[in-house]
Structure 1
Amino acid sequence: MAKMLKWNELWSDLRRRGIDPAVARARSFHDWVRRNDPVYAAVRRPGRAEAWAGGVGLFLIGLVVLALILFDWNMVRGPIGRWASAAYDRDIALQGDLDVHLFSWTPSAVVRGLKIGGPEWARDRDTADVDEIRASVRLRKLFAGQIEMPLLSFTRPQLVLITDKDGRNSWDLNPEKPDTGEGMKLPVIQQLVITDGSLVFDERRRGLKLEATVDAREGQGDDAGFVLDGEGEVNGSPLTLRVRGGPFINIRRDRPYDFEASVSGAGSSLTAKGAVTRPFDLGRFDATLSLQGRDLSDLYLLTGVALPNTPPYRLKGALKRNENIWTFSDFDGRVGASDLSGDVRVDAAKRLRVDAELTSRRLDIDDLAAVLGARTVTNAAGSNTEAPVAVGGKLLPDAPLQTERLRAMDGSLSYRAVAVKANDLDVRAVNLGAELKDGVLDLDPVSFNFNRGELNGTARINATRDIPYSVVDFRLAGYPLESIIPARDGTAPLTGRALGRARLEGPGASIHDFAAASKGSLSLVVPDGQMRSAFAELLGINASAGLLKLLRGDQSTAQIRCAVADFDVRGGAATAKTLVIDTDVVLAQGTGTIDLGAETLDLRVDGESKKPRLLRVWAPITVKGALTAPQVGVDVRALVGQGGVAGLLSAVVAPVTALFAFVDPGLAEDANCGRLIAGAR
């Protein structure tokens, strides 16, 4: 009761202070209008003039309504077509009847014979040719600023979509307007019907052609829903595409619209199953994407995204589109014999940009070689069955870099291999980074960690020209010689740590072409180490000591005081400036060249014994032939005057040749090799 009294007091106070004064002011204004406004007076008590004016106005409105009801809308087909043709610089015409029904809560229109021609550069094919279009809208929603269509129906629509080599799209009615990459936004459609539709897509930059049928039916049966089914070719290989969605009759703005899509071509197969999160907004959807194929680089032909060469792959992850941003996240799978996981983000607004963060828990180093252009073969289980082979049978891969693809996008890459499967080079971990901007690719870092030692460096590839120009700088630190030259009879013929550097630059579309035209320097330093005494003696062709030690199986070692190989590179030819192997028993010095283009070498090593020997054969050791299979021998011409003992030691010094496979940076000076290292710089 007390609460009721309190509420009455509050209401009385509110009326006294606010409501009653406001009502009084409104009544006062109303009385003033009645006394002074001539329009109000004319409406309440119209005179003869006002009555005539009102009658004429109502008559005119009636005439307009009657005219709209009886109007032959075909009369405006010509004007509409001429206006549209001029506005969009292409032939646009309404060739059939045009019916419009305005006076309804769901105004509707029927357009027959709509033709939209191609732009000036594609006049030979019409962009669209539709026999009939039926559409209706809800008037009440329209007054509220929303478009809701109870029906949208197309009969025999024929679409021809062409993209030329310059990236122009024939369906773009406003080519001057920048492409933001956003998806199409449709009004709310309660019933979508497409009967006998066809679609032709011709993407001339990638050699992609597709002819598809398009149908949409409402209902509850198996044939209800949206279906796009097409076949064609991409870069000469077969292409198939299928997209299927449910019927539109049950769509609501707050319910996802399920769909399935699959595309197969260019050695690749992609399958997506997901939903448009906000129906009628095709710029937003979520899906699970599975993809597999023979080479990730082939996906460029289907997606327009440049990817590196790889062995066969199988990946699966979450695909999401949010307007112009596409993400492929939390994916996992295999590439060749290696696992691969990570996230990829594609920004399609204005200039295409791709950013990727990738990880391998266990990398097969042969799969990484495929990125450089080598070929690997994997079995059904995903294991490599052959060692990587460079394309064309060369040691250095000659697979060309696709410069036009690099110029079409920007991006970044981060890749880390936590562990590496057992390999001949004893690589234990890999860390790579890349940044692509305006056709210039910077690789930084390029890092390989070995069991002992590491290789680090950077590279820049300028792909703004047809033949890219590259600059590389790689450093090798602390790499064990015993990892280069395998042990024999349980004993490594060489031990020690190698330091190296390669500084090269030049033009070339492939690694092989780059090396064949490069200039710069290659150098290798072994500050100290151990060599099997037998091989040290044979560097000086000392038959009395070297052969006896070999025949007896002597495992004793000699100290390597220093070893330096320093090459000057010009036009792909590496000429030895310094080639020295200094042991405590022999000083060996060499000359010669390595042809990086022909992938051959021609080296000569002369050894001089530091100790008096009973028998000494004075003859240089030669290293000739292909880099993949060098031939080591003795210069027989120097043996003629020494009793004709040619061929005495034709193959016993083979381990020395492995030293020439590495490069040297000329790092910190060592007490044993300071002078030679300084000269190698």
Structure 2
Amino acid sequence: MDTLAATEPEPPAPASHRDKRARWWRIARNIALTLIVVVFTVWLVLFITKGRFLKHPFERITSSLTTRKVQVQGDFQLYFAPFRLTFVADGLSVSNPDWAKSNTLFAARHIDAKIAPLSLIFGRRHVYSLALDGGRGDLEWDAQHVRNTWTFGGDSKGKPFEVPLIDTASVTDTHLRYSDPAMPLLADLTIAPILAKDTHIGKAVGITGTGTFRTTPFKLSARLLSPDATIAGTKNRLEARAWAAGSVIDVSGTLPGLTDVEDVPLKVAATGHNLSQLLAVIDVAIPQTRRFALKATLVKHADSYRFTDMTGTFGQSDLSGRFTVTNGKRLKLDAALVTRRLDIVDAAPFIGYNPDVVAAKGAVAAAAATGAGASRVLPDASLPVAMMQRFDATLDWKVGVVESKNVPVSNIALALSLERGRLALSPLTFTMARGDVAADLIFDTRDRPSAISYDIRLKTTPLGRLLAGYGVADSGTTGTIHGRIQLDGRGDTIHDSLASASGRIAFIMPHGTLWTQNAQLAELDLGTFVSKMFQGKLKKPIEVNCGLLAFTVRGGTATADPILIDTSKNVVTGRGGFSFDSEAVDLAFRADGKKFSLFSGQSPVGIGGHFASPKLQVISPQLLTRAGVGVGLAVAATPVAGLLAFVDVGDAKSAACGPVLAGARATAQRTSKGKPRSDVGNGHTKKIS
């Protein structure tokens, strides 16, 4: 037993850790060598055969992955040379999804590309070189701007188009079509031949084409100038010019990539005959302008397009400021503008006039051009109701001085708000002479016809400065005037809204003096009248105690309610009115002396005609009748008796200035002794035609 125990073999010693590592290293080495051999074999086979045998598997696999039909009609090559993936195809075509209008997304007569293999899996696609001939691309969004043709994967949400990084390129006979029905935009572009070498573009990349934006046709010419930049990225100098809506638009700037314009400042300039036509392309309605030239810096950020540092002119007026267009669910325009000097002709479109017609032929011709009748001045141009309901806007506009011959206007401040068809100019303030005007104008196009309200307030203004352009002398005139116009009407034109308006107009003259060549005609003092007609000036100004020119407006007809001016010598009253519809004027002013006057006609002075051509009737029918009576008396009795027809006994009752200064209606007016007046109208009259 002891002998057997002594002869039993000893158990093997356990393997060392070093031996285990060596065994695993040999296994890994063998696997790596196998992979290298396999990869080399595959590479060698592909390199020798140029991968032509992969043509049908390529068509099948890529068609399955992209859910598009991919075909190669001619030669096909897919191989590594040595580490760059080489892809060559003749007659390559990739189909569009079923919803697209065009059947083909991309087609090329010949394509030869050297591609970084890992870029197909990670990061942005990188193409070392590209030769493309006879390329045809058709890029299209769906009607909801959700899907596009270049984003693969069935119903996947469309992604922005991304151009691969390209080091060198040769592109010939290539065309691109782009369509976005949501905007809507359609562009057919031709890419001029490109030859890029050594990571630099040898020539400028040129693009020309035509298309339509919304319903406006345009023409485009663009160049990418990169003498010191690569087509792969960094910096690319862009210059583009477009012709549309009678305007020329220039865009220039430096792009970090061929299609990367997000948050990139671009210089833009636009010139044309009418800025309203250009902005109408994006459904933004503004008044017409004369020829314009504007420059600004444009930055696109998401759905917003910001125009800053804007400067330029429209007509004979200057314009500067900034504005932003946001293309969200509803188009929104936000602007802050400044004009130092505004030509009065350039302001004509704000009430519906064509400024070119005003400049060439005057306001009456401009009114006729809007559809108004002969000898009319109220514009009959329709408000752009449909367009006003398609976009929203806010505007803050400051104007320094309005260049006008007759009425000096300055310091205009306009706050505009447009929301879903309701346009509010509130507040609108400006200085007229040394007086201030504040207005609130509302155009609500949500109702049909539009509901329009006017509330215009004239603060105390010196008559000498206000009427300086109409013959009133500033020196010697201390009189002032203030008043208010409140009207509400319906209509889609300025004329129609006023022709249906109701409300009140009142202008009040506190105590003061008035000195002018023709102001005292209304007093009909025959001696003063003759003196003024032949000597050309008054010996002293008229002293006004108080005065009120007020009208009640019903259905577009304004009736004197009342016209009452109390001067030191006379009480002037008025009757009649005017029509916003026909623009006819039928007013009669009469002056009754407070003291006995031998030479006084006691007959009214009439104002007739229309807004465009008012007529002063100094020798009225009543005065002619009285002259006839005087002649009859002189023949029948004595020559002295003939003067009785012109005698004013001086029984005019001075006005109580309280109701006058309060702007009260005719029924509330009183004499200085507190008795109701019977010599002023009550606000009712027949419709003036």
Matched, 1:373 2:357: no
Map residues 308-457 of structure 1 onto 2, 5 A cutoff. 308-348=287-327, 351-377=330-356, 389-390=366-367, 391-392=369-370, 394-421=376-403, 423-457=405-439
Once the two structures are superposed, what CA deviation does each residue of 1:333-375 show, in whole Å capped at 9, x if it has no partner?
2221122222233334554333322222333233223344333
For 1:469, the equivalent position in structure 2 comes to: 451
Instruction: Tell me the distance in 2 between the aligned counterparts of 1:311 and 1:188.
Output: 46
CA gap 1:537/1:403 in 2 versus in 1, 3 angstroms: closer
Q: CA RMSD in A?
A: 5.0
AA partner of residue 480 (structure 2): R
SS of 2:341's equivalent in the other structure is coil
Map residues 248-647 of structure 1 onto 2, 5 A cutoff. 250-251=229-230, 255-278=234-257, 280-300=259-279, 306-348=285-327, 351-377=330-356, 389-390=366-367, 391-392=369-370, 394-421=376-403, 423-464=405-446, 468-482=450-464, 483-484=466-467, 486=469, 488=471, 496-531=479-514, 538-539=521-522, 541-543=524-526, 546-547=529-530, 550-551=533-534, 553-633=537-617, 638-639=622-623, 641-644=625-628
CA gap 1:601/1:339 in 2 versus in 1, 3 angstroms: same
For 2:672, the equivalent position in structure 1 comes to: none
Deviation of 1:418 after TM superposition, in Å, equals: 3.0
Q: Is the 8 A contact 2:52 2:76 kept in 1?
A: no
Deviation of 1:457 after TM superposition, in Å, equals: 1.7
Matched, 1:106 2:88: no
SS of 1:363's equivalent in the other structure is strand
Deviation of 1:254 after TM superposition, in Å, equals: 6.8
Deviation of 1:243 after TM superposition, in Å, equals: 0.4
Deviation of 1:178 after TM superposition, in Å, equals: 9.3
AA partner of residue 484 (structure 2): R
SS of 2:264's equivalent in the other structure is strand
For 1:27, the equivalent position in structure 2 comes to: none
Instruction: Tell me the distance in 1 between the aligned counterparts of 2:444 and 2:38.
Output: 74
Once the two structures are superposed, what CA deviation does each residue of 1:459-494 show, in whole Å capped at 9, x if it has no partner?
233345675433332211123333336465968897
Q: Is the 8 A contact 1:183 1:282 kept in 2?
A: no
Deviation of 1:426 after TM superposition, in Å, equals: 0.8
Unaligned runs of 5+ residues in structure 1 are: 1-30, 86-90, 647-668
Once the two structures are superposed, what CA deviation does each residue of 1:534-575 show, in whole Å capped at 9, x if it has no partner?
967643544465445644554323322222233333443333
Matched, 1:147 2:147: no
Instruction: Tell me the distance in 1 between the aligned counterparts of 2:41 and 2:447.
Output: 70
CA gap 1:76/1:234 in 2 versus in 1, 3 angstroms: closer
Unaligned runs of 5+ residues in structure 2 are: 1-13, 631-655, 669-689
Query: Which of these residues, 97, 107, 122, is aligned with residue 130 of structure 1?
Result: 107
For 1:673, the equivalent position in structure 2 comes to: 660
Instruction: Tell me the distance in 1 between the aligned counterparts of 2:362 and 2:306.
Output: 34
Map residues 13-24 of structure 1 onto 2, 5 A cutoff. none
Q: Is the 8 A contact 2:319 2:339 kept in 1?
A: yes
Deviation of 1:218 after TM superposition, in Å, equals: 1.5
Figure out how many residues of one structure are paired with residues of the other and give that number. Answer: 610
Rg bigger for which structure? 2
CA gap 1:385/1:638 in 2 versus in 1, 3 angstroms: closer
CA gap 1:545/1:217 in 2 versus in 1, 3 angstroms: closer
Q: Is the 8 A contact 1:287 1:318 kept in 2?
A: yes
CA gap 1:206/1:283 in 2 versus in 1, 3 angstroms: closer
Q: Is the 8 A contact 1:347 1:354 kept in 2?
A: yes
Instruction: Tell me the distance in 1 between the aligned counterparts of 2:621 and 2:404.
Output: 44
Once the two structures are superposed, what CA deviation does each residue of 1:98-135 show, in whole Å capped at 9, x if it has no partner?
95726563335456453655875x84x55745334555
Instruction: Tell me the distance in 2 between the aligned counterparts of 1:490 and 1:472.
Output: 31
Instruction: Tell me the distance in 2 between the aligned counterparts of 1:268 and 1:541.
Output: 59
Map residues 17-166 of structure 1 onto 2, 5 A cutoff. 72-74=54-56, 77=59, 94=71, 96=73, 99=76, 101=78, 105-109=83-87, 112-114=91-93, 116=95, 123=101, 128=105, 130-132=107-109, 135-142=113-120, 145-152=123-130, 154-158=132-136
Q: Is the 8 A contact 2:426 2:439 kept in 1?
A: yes
AA partner of residue 595 (structure 1): S
For 2:191, the equivalent position in structure 1 comes to: 214
Q: Is the 8 A contact 2:195 2:201 kept in 1?
A: no
AA partner of residue 592 (structure 2): E
SS of 2:279's equivalent in the other structure is helix
More off after superposition, 470-479 vs 570-579 = 570-579
Please report the TM-score for the alignment, with normalisation by the length of structure 1. 0.72
Deviation of 1:162 after TM superposition, in Å, equals: 8.2
Instruction: Tell me the distance in 1 between the aligned counterparts of 2:472 and 2:551.
Output: 33
Instruction: Tell me the distance in 2 between the aligned counterparts of 1:633 and 1:176.
Output: 80
Q: Is the 8 A contact 2:54 2:78 kept in 1?
A: no
Deviation of 1:217 after TM superposition, in Å, equals: 0.6
Instruction: Tell me the distance in 1 between the aligned counterparts of 2:587 and 2:242.
Output: 55
Deviation of 1:672 after TM superposition, in Å, equals: 7.5
CA gap 1:169/1:402 in 2 versus in 1, 3 angstroms: farther
SS of 1:612's equivalent in the other structure is coil
Q: Is the 8 A contact 1:278 1:285 kept in 2?
A: no
For 1:195, the equivalent position in structure 2 comes to: 172
Deviation of 1:257 after TM superposition, in Å, equals: 0.5
Instruction: Tell me the distance in 2 between the aligned counterparts of 1:173 and 1:591.
Output: 76
Instruction: Tell me the distance in 2 between the aligned counterparts of 1:476 and 1:134.
Output: 77
AA partner of residue 295 (structure 2): K
Q: Is the 8 A contact 1:619 1:634 kept in 2?
A: no
Q: Is the 8 A contact 1:183 1:324 kept in 2?
A: no
CA gap 1:94/1:70 in 2 versus in 1, 3 angstroms: closer
Once the two structures are superposed, what CA deviation does each residue of 1:29-48 show, in whole Å capped at 9, x if it has no partner?
xx99969x9xx9995798xx
Instruction: Tell me the distance in 1 between the aligned counterparts of 2:186 and 2:322.
Output: 30
Instruction: Tell me the distance in 1 between the aligned counterparts of 2:15 and 2:351.
Output: 91
Q: Is the 8 A contact 2:145 2:182 kept in 1?
A: no
Q: Is the 8 A contact 1:118 1:170 kept in 2?
A: no
Q: Is the 8 A contact 1:315 1:331 kept in 2?
A: yes
Please report the TM-score for the alignment, with normalisation by the length of structure 2. 0.72
Instruction: Tell me the distance in 2 between the aligned counterparts of 1:79 and 1:141.
Output: 19
Deviation of 1:281 after TM superposition, in Å, equals: 2.1
Q: Is the 8 A contact 1:590 1:603 kept in 2?
A: yes
CA gap 1:518/1:487 in 2 versus in 1, 3 angstroms: closer
Instruction: Tell me the distance in 2 between the aligned counterparts of 1:145 and 1:494.
Output: 82
Instruction: Tell me the distance in 1 between the aligned counterparts of 2:530 and 2:144.
Output: 71
Instruction: Tell me the distance in 2 between the aligned counterparts of 1:168 and 1:293.
Output: 31
